[in-house]
Copies of this chain bind each other. A is one copy, B any other.
């Protein structure tokens, strides 16, 4: 289970530390790819496999499905943690997410998202100050 928002630095070599409490779940490999809303999505290998099969099963006749398939698969890379528990973010993916020097590693229960701080701020601004709105959404969606 991935939780929390962790600010981490990307060093000159493009490496970024993965929060220590996430590492066990990622020890046997992970897949990093483009996520929705211009973030990066990181899946433990065990979670990636069924997800890939689902996406693969989308009808090829549907234009949106084709686009989505390309979004996910075209830039996907499988990585392993290095001996310091870091991953190397490929330049294309960093560019896609607008990540430069700093990044936010966000646990989203079953997967992990990586955000540029600026984009994250714009996403969270909508609900940040308004707890009541969160509550209403909770009530209506659940």
Q: Which residue of B lies closest to A76 (CB)?
A: B3
- B141, A56: Cβ atoms closer than 8 Å: no
CA distance A35 to B106 in the complex (A): 19
Q: Does chain B have a CB within 8 A of A15?
A: no
Q: Does chain B have a CB within 8 A of A12?
A: no
Copies of this chain per assembly: 2
Query: In residues 1-37 of chain A, which contact B (Cβ within 8 Å)?
Result: 1-5, 21, 31, 34-37
A contacts with B: majority SS: helix
- A77, B3: Cβ atoms closer than 8 Å: yes
- A76, B4: Cβ atoms closer than 8 Å: yes
- A124, B3: Cβ atoms closer than 8 Å: no
- B110, A78: Cβ atoms closer than 8 Å: no
Q: Does chain B have a CB within 8 A of A83?
A: no
